[in-house]
């Protein structure tokens, strides 16, 4: 079955439409440092506003412990949304309480209200189905229909994502529909050569996606902290670099399978080794086979792919027609160790085909490094959700909208 889209809901003029967005944005001292997820929701929100719907927006932010916490209030997000929409946005002081009901009751056609953080209510993330359903029923009382447009949470069986979509007439917004279309292209019929670039800190976070993609890709490039487990599996010493020793056998198996399937597995040939994990640490470039042969010896830690590896990766990426990238190549937050991630990002902007940045830290990295969103074919708003989709897992927030 296909995903239900906005058209399936008919006219929404005058209707109270709950929109489950993903406004889980990074905050520093109460200020949004990256509003990409807010901007990503604008096409759906503007379409509903233009229809004359009365918008009731709900989202989580951070990980409050099921109770109100001012540090995780959505108030800064409501303010930023008001600026982006160019119109007032009401902000409820609670999620399903008196303030929420008053804010929704006051809405006129085309107006917008934001409910307070969903995770201020324990029912949102409850493992107990009855508790979750009870909270979803309280949310449902605030709306006539649900538009699910928070792709970053569709892999979670949560009240506002799953149960609410069963209670109210529901459909995917433009953001979720667009994400599914792109990720389906990566899974079903990608243009070739098809290259997947994986980074980030841990191999264990990517085991499922590696297993699922090996039969489907032409090239697999491995960087980030996870590269040291692969290098160790090749027999190299990696000093104090991040190493998951319990995954060595699994990684060895993947290397063997890649060879048997004719998948080009591209591993780093050099790395930037540092004296410590700090922005001003001493650092040198070392050959992948001699990572401990530096002044730091066995205490040196790898914090980025080296320049030869970066260029090797860039050549493979530019030579591809489809590229999916998830996970930075190094500790990009520190300028001394951002070069590998920057080189990979730049190469993705030069792909003659579909280039997909797989959300999470990768999306944060390209923005922090100064790249424009439209330089890439697609930037996913959900790192975990995109990985689980590519692993072939069933995502409850999509299944409830008709996706099979």
pLDDT in the model for residue 30:
87
| DSSP 8-state class, residue 146 | E
- Within 10 A of 265 (CB to CB), how many other CB atoms are there? 17
8 Å CB contact between 327 and 364: no
Residue 318, annotated as binding a ligand: no
Angle, vertex CA 379, rays to CA 378 and CA 384, nearest 5 = 125
What token pair was written down for 397?
């927030």
pLDDT in the model for residue 1:
61
DSSP H or E segment with residue 46: helix 42-51
Residue 62, annotated as binding a ligand: yes
Indicate which residue of 224, 300, 340, 360 is catalytic.
360
Q: Is 36 known to be catalytic?
A: no
User: How much is the mean pLDDT over the chain?
Assistant: 95
pLDDT in the model for residue 187:
87
Cα-based distances in Å from 175 to 101, 138, 386 = 27, 25, 13
Check the CA dihedral 79-84-85-86 and report its sign.
Answer: positive
Indicate which residue of 36, 52, 97, 384 is catalytic.
384
Residue 24, annotated as binding a ligand: yes
Indicate the burial class of 175 (C-beta count within 10 angstroms; 0-12, 13-18, 19 or more): buried
Residue 206, annotated as binding a ligand: yes
Residue 156, annotated as binding a ligand: yes
Indicate which residue of 39, 185, 202, 216 is catalytic.
202
8 Å CB contact between 153 and 60: yes
Q: Is 202 known to be catalytic?
A: yes
**C-alpha closest to that of 264 among 359, 192, 345:** 192
φ, ψ for residue 100, nearest 5 deg: -60, -45
Q: Is 360 known to be catalytic?
A: yes
Residue 23, annotated as binding a ligand: yes
**C-alpha closest to that of 180 among 1, 372, 18:** 1
Nearest-angstrom CA–CA distance, 211 and 217: 11
Indicate which residue of 4, 16, 20, 37 is catalytic.
37
Residue 283 pairs with which residues in a beta bridge? 274
Residue 359, annotated as binding a ligand: yes
Helix, coil or strand: residue 200: coil
Residue 333, annotated as binding a ligand: yes
8 Å CB contact between 274 and 259: no
Q: Which residues of the chain have pLDDT under 50?
A: none
Per-residue DSSP letters for 221-233?
A: EE-STTHHHHHHH
pTM score above 0.85: yes
8 Å CB contact between 192 and 351: no
8 Å CB contact between 311 and 180: no
**pLDDT tens per residue, range 202-242:** 888 888 889 989 999 999 999 999 999 999 999 999 999 99
Nearest-angstrom CA–CA distance, 163 and 277: 43
Cα-based distances in Å from 107 to 104, 167, 171 = 5, 22, 22
Compute, in degrees rounded to 10, the torsion defined by CA atoms 63, 65, 68, 72: -20
Nearest-angstrom CA–CA distance, 209 and 392: 8
Q: Is 383 known to be catalytic?
A: no
pLDDT in the model for residue 206:
87
Question: Alpha helices of 277-390 — where are they, by DSSP H?
Answer: 307-318, 339-349, 360-368, 383-390
How are the residues of the chain apportioned to helix, strand and coil, as percentages rounded to the nearest 5? 45, 15, 40
């Amino acid at each position: 079955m296909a995903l239900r889209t906005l058209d399936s809901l008919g006219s929404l003029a005058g209707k109270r439409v709950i929109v489950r967005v993903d406004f889980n944005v990074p905050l520093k001292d109460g200020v949004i440092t990256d509003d990409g997820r807010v901007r990503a929701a604008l096409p759906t929100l503007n379409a509903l506003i233009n229809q004359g719907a009365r918008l009731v927006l709900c989202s989580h932010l951070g990980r409050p412990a099921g109770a109100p916490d001012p540090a995780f209030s959505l108030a800064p997000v409501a303010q930023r949304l008001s600026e982006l929409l160019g119109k007032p946005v009401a902000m409820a002081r609670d999620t399903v309480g008196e303030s929420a009901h008053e804010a929704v009751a006051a809405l006129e056609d085309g107006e917008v209200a934001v409910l307070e953080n969903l995770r201020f209510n324990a029912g949102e993330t409850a493992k107990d189905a009855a508790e979750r359903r009870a909270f979803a029923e309280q949310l449902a009382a605030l709306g006539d229909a649900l538009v699910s447009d928070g792709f970053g949470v569709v892999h979670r069986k949560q009240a506002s994502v799953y149960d609410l979509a069963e209670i109210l007439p529901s459909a995917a917004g433009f953001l979720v529909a667009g994400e599914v279309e792109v990720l389906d292209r990566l899974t079903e019929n990608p243009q070739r050569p098809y290259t997947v670039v994986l980074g980030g800190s841990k191999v264990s976070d990517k085991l499922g996606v590696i297993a699922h993609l090996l039969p489907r890709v032409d090239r697999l490039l491995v960087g980030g902290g996870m590269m040291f487990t692969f290098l160790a599996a090749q027999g190299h010493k990696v000093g104090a670099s991040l190493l998951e020793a319990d995954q060595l056998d699994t990684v060895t198996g993947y290397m063997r399978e890649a060879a048997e399937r004719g998948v080009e597995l591209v591993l780093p040939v050099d790395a930037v080794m540092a004296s410590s994990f700090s922005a001003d640490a001493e650092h040198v470039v070392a050959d992948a086979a001699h990572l401990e042969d530096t002044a730091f010896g066995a205490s040196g830690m790898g914090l980025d792919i080296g320049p030869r590896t970066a260029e090797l990766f860039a050549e493979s990426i530019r030579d591809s027609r489809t590229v999916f990238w998830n996970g930075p190549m190094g500790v990009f937050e520190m300028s001394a160790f951002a070069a590998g991630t920057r080189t990979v990002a730049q190469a993705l902007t030069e792909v003659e085909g579909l280039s997909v940045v797989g959300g999470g830290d990768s999306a944060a990295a390209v923005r922090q490094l100064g790249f424009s969103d439209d330089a890439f074919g697609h930037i996913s708003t959900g790192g975990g959700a995109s990985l689980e989709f590519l692993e072939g897992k069933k995502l409850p927030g999509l299944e409830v909208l008709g996706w099979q």
